[in-house]
Amino acid sequence: MPESLAARLRAIAQQLADAGVPDPLVDAELLLGHVHGIGRGELQAAVMRGDLLDDAETGRLDALVARRCEREPLQHLTGVAAFRHVELAVGPGVFVPRPETETVVQFAIDALLESADPAPVAIDLGTGSGAIALAMATEVPHARVHAVERSADAHAWAVRNTARADNLTLVHGDLATAFDELRGTASVVISNPPYVPDDAVPRDPEVRLHDPAQALYGGPDGLDVVRIISRRARQLLRPGGLLVLEHGELQGEQIRAILSGDGWRAAATHQDLTRRDRATTALRD
């Protein structure tokens, strides 16, 4: 007998809660909506109407719920991750973009919008899924956005996500050497680099077991790649250009010291919406 969406939603939310999944009701709604072929808002309306779950959907739904109970990332199960106003294709081999990065990229977008250049250049070093680069390219359509990713697996996801943006150039390469042809021209360089110290294993199984290590770990203090970016961004930015770095909540002071030592000016650390230090910006002299 077909089961009501409301009853199945309650059961899935309880399963996920028992497995320690954060926000179990939200995940239950997203999984049920994914299998049912509707968005979360539409699902909530269907639950209120008393709609039924098709028997043919039950087996697929049960399999996805079991995987989520094993703490496989929700985005791997649905195949998409929301980021600002876009949806990104994600899966094994690429870092799943986080909500906090949505506030970090705003610094870059604001700088591009305020630039007097009719076609300001923005560079995303280590683009992963392409989230930051695509946000800049779509929200500042007159900008020329360039992005680089070293991982072959992540680059493949970025190719898929950024193909829609005509003003975005993606390359597969090393952030320390890419874009020599752009030296001294960029208005903005932005990066969400790996910044977890090598011995600081993340608590969440979704991160620890499923995000690629190359996107997480940044050396003994987590800042090895930040040091590389500091030097490279000074080569790429024009005078007065802006560097934007995402980082962990306890790393702001160390990063400001690195940047000041490399000759950057006006290094400042900014909080995210949870009032945790999340980004540091600096200006090229």
Q: Would you kindly state where each structural domain of the chain is located, as residue ranges?
A: 3-70, 93-283
The C-alpha atoms of residue 44 and residue 42 are separated, in whole angstroms, by 5
Do the bridges between strand 265-271 and strand 277-283 make them parallel or antiparallel, or are there none, so unpaired? antiparallel
126-178 pLDDT, tens digit per residue, is 999 999 999 999 999 999 999 999 999 999 999 999 998 999 999 999 999 99
Q: Are the C-beta atoms of residues 217 and 252 closer than 8 Å to each other?
A: no
CATH class of the domain at 3-70: mainly alpha
Tokens 């998409």 correspond to: 80
Q: Do residues 84 and 139 lie in contact, with contact meaning Cβ atoms separated by under 8 Å?
A: yes
SS3 helix, strand, coil % of the chain, rounded to 5? 45, 20, 35
Nearest to 78 by CA among 64, 96, 92: 64
Q: Token digits for 33?
A: 């909506």
Query: Which CA distances in Å does 20 have to 8, 206, 277?
Result: 19, 12, 27
- Please identify, in words, the CATH class of the domain defined by 93-283: alpha beta
pTM for this one? 0.92
Taking only the tens place, the pLDDT of each residue in 34-70 is 998 889 999 999 999 998 887 778 889 999 999 999 9
